[in-house]
Protein backbone atom coordinates (compact mmCIF):
# COMPACT_ATOMS: atom_id res chain seq x y z
CA UNK A 1 0.00 0.00 0.00
CA UNK A 2 1.56 3.24 -1.12
CA UNK A 3 0.98 6.58 0.57
CA UNK A 4 1.75 10.12 -0.57
CA UNK A 5 2.44 12.58 2.24
CA UNK A 6 2.44 16.32 1.44
CA UNK A 7 3.64 18.18 4.51
CA UNK A 8 5.99 21.16 4.59
CA UNK A 9 7.04 20.89 8.23
CA UNK A 10 10.08 18.71 7.76
CA UNK A 11 9.97 17.24 11.25
CA UNK A 12 6.28 16.33 11.06
CA UNK A 13 6.64 14.96 7.53
CA UNK A 14 9.62 12.77 8.37
CA UNK A 15 7.92 11.56 11.54
CA UNK A 16 4.83 10.47 9.57
CA UNK A 17 6.93 8.88 6.84
CA UNK A 18 8.96 6.86 9.33
CA UNK A 19 5.90 5.73 11.26
CA UNK A 20 4.12 4.61 8.09
CA UNK A 21 7.22 2.83 6.81
CA UNK A 22 7.45 0.95 10.09
CA UNK A 23 3.92 -0.27 9.34
CA UNK A 24 5.17 -1.50 5.96
CA UNK A 25 3.65 1.22 3.79
CA UNK A 26 5.67 2.61 0.88
CA UNK A 27 5.82 6.37 1.37
CA UNK A 28 6.66 9.36 -0.82
CA UNK A 29 7.05 12.65 1.03
CA UNK A 30 6.84 16.11 -0.54
CA UNK A 31 7.07 19.50 1.13
CA UNK A 32 5.92 21.50 -1.86
CA UNK A 33 2.22 21.63 -2.75
CA UNK A 34 2.55 21.83 -6.53
CA UNK A 35 5.11 19.02 -6.65
CA UNK A 36 2.92 16.92 -4.38
CA UNK A 37 -0.08 17.45 -6.64
CA UNK A 38 2.00 16.44 -9.65
CA UNK A 39 2.85 13.16 -7.90
CA UNK A 40 -0.76 12.62 -6.81
CA UNK A 41 -1.92 12.93 -10.41
CA UNK A 42 0.87 10.81 -11.89
CA UNK A 43 0.88 7.90 -9.46
CA UNK A 44 -1.80 5.48 -8.36
CA UNK A 45 -1.57 5.96 -4.58
CA UNK A 46 -3.68 4.11 -2.04
CA UNK A 47 -3.89 7.11 0.27
CA UNK A 48 -2.99 10.82 0.31
CA UNK A 49 -2.08 12.59 3.55
CA UNK A 50 -2.21 16.32 2.87
CA UNK A 51 -1.38 19.29 5.07
CA UNK A 52 -3.53 22.39 4.47
CA UNK A 53 -0.92 25.17 4.57
CA UNK A 54 1.77 24.42 1.99
CA UNK A 55 4.19 26.38 -0.15
CA UNK A 56 3.15 27.08 -3.77
CA UNK A 57 -0.28 25.39 -3.49
CA UNK A 58 -2.65 24.82 -0.58
CA UNK A 59 -3.82 21.39 0.52
CA UNK A 60 -7.37 22.48 -0.31
CA UNK A 61 -6.42 23.24 -3.91
CA UNK A 62 -4.62 19.90 -4.17
CA UNK A 63 -7.71 18.12 -2.88
CA UNK A 64 -10.04 19.96 -5.27
CA UNK A 65 -7.80 19.29 -8.26
CA UNK A 66 -7.44 15.62 -7.43
CA UNK A 67 -11.22 15.18 -7.14
CA UNK A 68 -11.82 17.21 -10.30
CA UNK A 69 -9.54 14.73 -12.07
CA UNK A 70 -11.86 11.99 -10.77
CA UNK A 71 -9.18 10.42 -8.60
CA UNK A 72 -11.04 8.70 -5.77
CA UNK A 73 -8.01 7.87 -3.62
CA UNK A 74 -8.84 8.45 0.06
CA UNK A 75 -7.51 11.78 1.38
CA UNK A 76 -6.61 12.49 5.00
CA UNK A 77 -6.27 16.22 5.70
CA UNK A 78 -3.90 17.50 8.36
CA UNK A 79 -4.86 20.85 9.82
CA UNK A 80 -3.74 23.20 12.54
CA UNK A 81 -6.08 23.88 15.45
CA UNK A 82 -6.79 27.34 14.06
CA UNK A 83 -8.20 25.96 10.83
CA UNK A 84 -11.41 24.34 12.03
CA UNK A 85 -13.56 26.01 9.35
CA UNK A 86 -11.06 24.79 6.75
CA UNK A 87 -11.63 21.24 7.89
CA UNK A 88 -15.32 21.50 7.13
CA UNK A 89 -14.49 22.91 3.71
CA UNK A 90 -12.05 20.06 3.22
CA UNK A 91 -14.66 17.44 3.96
CA UNK A 92 -17.07 19.23 1.63
CA UNK A 93 -14.39 19.26 -1.06
CA UNK A 94 -14.05 15.48 -0.89
CA UNK A 95 -11.62 14.74 1.92
CA UNK A 96 -12.33 11.46 3.69
CA UNK A 97 -11.01 12.34 7.10
CA UNK A 98 -9.03 14.98 8.95
CA UNK A 99 -6.65 15.13 11.83
CA UNK A 100 -5.77 18.18 13.91
CA UNK A 101 -2.13 18.87 14.70
CA UNK A 102 -0.59 18.00 17.04
CA UNK A 103 -1.82 14.42 16.89
CA UNK A 104 -0.76 11.11 18.40
CA UNK A 105 0.93 8.91 15.84
CA UNK A 106 -1.21 5.94 16.86
CA UNK A 107 -4.30 7.90 15.94
CA UNK A 108 -2.84 8.77 12.54
CA UNK A 109 -2.01 5.09 11.94
CA UNK A 110 -5.49 3.96 12.97
CA UNK A 111 -7.10 6.46 10.61
CA UNK A 112 -4.76 5.48 7.79
CA UNK A 113 -5.70 1.81 8.25
CA UNK A 114 -9.40 2.67 8.26
CA UNK A 115 -9.12 4.81 5.12
CA UNK A 116 -7.14 2.22 3.20
CA UNK A 117 -9.64 -0.43 4.22
CA UNK A 118 -12.48 1.76 3.03
CA UNK A 119 -10.62 2.71 -0.16
CA UNK A 120 -10.21 -0.86 -1.26
CA UNK A 121 -13.94 -1.30 -1.79
CA UNK A 122 -15.69 -4.24 -0.22
CA UNK A 123 -12.46 -5.61 1.15
CA UNK A 124 -13.13 -7.19 4.51
CA UNK A 125 -10.94 -6.38 7.47
CA UNK A 126 -9.37 -9.80 7.49
CA UNK A 127 -8.06 -11.11 4.20
CA UNK A 128 -8.21 -14.79 3.38
CA UNK A 129 -7.18 -16.88 0.39
CA UNK A 130 -7.61 -20.58 0.96
CA UNK A 131 -5.95 -21.31 4.32
CA UNK A 132 -3.79 -18.19 4.18
CA UNK A 133 -5.14 -15.57 6.59
CA UNK A 134 -3.89 -12.04 6.94
CA UNK A 135 -5.07 -9.58 9.56
CA UNK A 136 -4.01 -6.00 8.67
CA UNK A 137 -4.94 -4.70 12.11
CA UNK A 138 -2.77 -7.07 14.13
CA UNK A 139 -0.34 -7.83 11.28
CA UNK A 140 -0.75 -11.54 11.88
CA UNK A 141 -0.25 -13.87 8.96
CA UNK A 142 -1.05 -17.56 9.24
CA UNK A 143 -1.27 -20.45 6.84
CA UNK A 144 -3.14 -23.53 7.95
CA UNK A 145 -3.12 -22.06 11.45
CA UNK A 146 0.67 -21.79 11.45
CA UNK A 147 2.09 -18.37 12.13
CA UNK A 148 4.31 -16.89 9.41
CA UNK A 149 6.83 -14.17 10.21
CA UNK A 150 7.40 -11.66 7.44
CA UNK A 151 9.70 -8.69 6.95
CA UNK A 152 8.08 -5.31 6.33
CA UNK A 153 8.49 -5.53 2.56
CA UNK A 154 7.26 -9.11 2.39
CA UNK A 155 4.29 -8.07 4.46
CA UNK A 156 3.53 -5.12 2.14
CA UNK A 157 3.86 -7.31 -0.93
CA UNK A 158 1.60 -9.99 0.52
CA UNK A 159 -1.04 -7.43 1.48
CA UNK A 160 -1.08 -6.09 -2.07
CA UNK A 161 -1.29 -9.58 -3.57
CA UNK A 162 -4.08 -10.58 -1.16
CA UNK A 163 -6.13 -7.45 -1.70
CA UNK A 164 -6.05 -8.24 -5.41
CA UNK A 165 -6.28 -12.02 -5.22
CA UNK A 166 -7.30 -13.70 -8.46
CA UNK A 167 -5.99 -10.86 -10.58
CA UNK A 168 -2.81 -10.77 -12.63
CA UNK A 169 -0.50 -8.17 -11.12
CA UNK A 170 2.24 -6.89 -13.37
CA UNK A 171 5.65 -5.88 -12.06
CA UNK A 172 4.91 -2.17 -12.70
CA UNK A 173 1.64 -2.49 -10.71
CA UNK A 174 3.46 -4.17 -7.86
CA UNK A 175 6.30 -1.64 -7.81
CA UNK A 176 3.84 1.25 -7.89
CA UNK A 177 1.96 0.03 -4.81
CA UNK A 178 4.64 -1.63 -2.74
CA UNK A 179 7.71 0.50 -3.35
CA UNK A 180 8.16 4.26 -3.34
CA UNK A 181 9.48 6.50 -6.08
CA UNK A 182 13.10 5.73 -5.25
CA UNK A 183 12.54 2.23 -6.57
CA UNK A 184 14.60 1.28 -9.61
CA UNK A 185 12.22 -0.60 -11.91
CA UNK A 186 15.07 -2.17 -13.84
CA UNK A 187 16.13 -4.42 -11.01
CA UNK A 188 14.76 -7.86 -10.27
CA UNK A 189 13.88 -6.88 -6.70
CA UNK A 190 10.21 -7.77 -7.15
CA UNK A 191 11.08 -11.31 -8.28
CA UNK A 192 13.46 -11.64 -5.37
CA UNK A 193 10.77 -10.63 -2.86
CA UNK A 194 8.14 -12.85 -4.47
CA UNK A 195 10.58 -15.71 -4.01
CA UNK A 196 11.09 -14.80 -0.35
CA UNK A 197 7.32 -14.88 0.08
CA UNK A 198 7.02 -18.18 -1.75
CA UNK A 199 9.57 -19.72 0.56
CA UNK A 200 7.55 -18.71 3.57
CA UNK A 201 4.04 -19.31 2.26
CA UNK A 202 4.15 -22.07 -0.35
CA UNK A 203 7.31 -24.03 0.31
CA UNK A 204 6.63 -27.60 1.39
CA UNK A 205 2.88 -27.26 0.86
CA UNK A 206 0.88 -29.23 -1.66
CA UNK A 207 -1.23 -26.28 -2.71
CA UNK A 208 0.66 -23.29 -4.09
CA UNK A 209 -0.94 -19.87 -3.75
CA UNK A 210 1.55 -17.62 -5.53
CA UNK A 211 1.54 -18.19 -9.26
CA UNK A 212 3.85 -16.81 -11.93
CA UNK A 213 1.95 -15.64 -14.97
CA UNK A 214 4.50 -16.00 -17.72
CA UNK A 215 5.23 -12.74 -19.52
CA UNK A 216 2.87 -10.78 -17.24
CA UNK A 217 3.60 -10.95 -13.55
CA UNK A 218 2.14 -12.71 -10.55
CA UNK A 219 -1.18 -13.83 -9.15
CA UNK A 220 -2.26 -15.02 -5.73
CA UNK A 221 -5.06 -17.56 -5.89
CA UNK A 222 -6.17 -20.83 -4.38
CA UNK A 223 -5.76 -23.06 -7.45
For Ca ion, the closer CB: 8 or 202: 8
The dihedrals phi and psi of 22, each to the nearest 5 degrees, come to -65, -20
Q: By the 8 A CB rule, do 93 and 79 touch?
A: no
Report the nearest approach of Ca ion to the CB of residue 93 (Å).
17
Residue nearest to Ca ion (CB): 53
| Local structure of 84: helix, strand or coil | helix
How far, in Å, CA of 202 to CA of 61, rounded?
Answer: 47
- Span near Ca ion by CB under 5 A; candidates 10-18, 45-53, 130-138, 212-220: 45-53
Report the nearest approach of Ca ion to the CB of residue 54 (Å).
6
Cα-based angle 177, 207, 148 (whole degrees, multiple of 5): 55
| Local structure of 175: helix, strand or coil | helix
Instruction: Please count the residues of this chain forming the interface with Ca ion, following the rule CB under 5 A.
Output: 3
Report the nearest approach of Ca ion to the CB of residue 110 (Å).
22
Q: Binders of Ca ion among 48-67, rule CB under 5 A?
A: 51, 53
- Span near Ca ion by CB under 5 A; candidates 10-18, 46-54, 186-194, 202-210: 46-54
Question: x/- binding map, residues 168-197, to Ca ion, per CB under 5 A?
Answer: ------------------------------
Q: Which residues contact 175 (CB under 8 A, 6 or more apart)?
A: 183, 185, 190
- Span near Ca ion by CB under 5 A; candidates 5-13, 59-67, 124-132, 139-147: 5-13
Report the nearest approach of Ca ion to the CB of residue 1 (Å).
24
Q: Where are the beta strands (DSSP E) in the chain?
A: 2-6, 26-30, 47-51, 75-80, 97-101, 127-129, 132-135, 140-143, 146-147, 169-170, 210-213, 217-220
Question: Cis (ω within 30 of 0) for the bond into 102?
Answer: yes
For Ca ion, the closer CB: 51 or 154: 51
How far, in Å, CA of 2 to CA of 180, rounded?
Answer: 7
Report the nearest approach of Ca ion to the CB of residue 98 (Å).
14
> Which of 8, 32, 131, 202 contacts Ca ion by CB under 5 A?
8
- Span near Ca ion by CB under 5 A; candidates 8-16, 42-50, 142-150, 175-183: 8-16
| Interface positions with Ca ion (CB under 5 A) | 8, 51, 53
Amino acid sequence: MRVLVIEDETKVGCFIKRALEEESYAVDLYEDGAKGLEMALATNYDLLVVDLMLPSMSGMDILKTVRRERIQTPVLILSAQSQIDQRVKGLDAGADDYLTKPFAIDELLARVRALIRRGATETPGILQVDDLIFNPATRDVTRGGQRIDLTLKEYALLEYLMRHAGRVLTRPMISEHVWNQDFDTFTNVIDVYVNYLRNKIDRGRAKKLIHTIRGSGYMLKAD
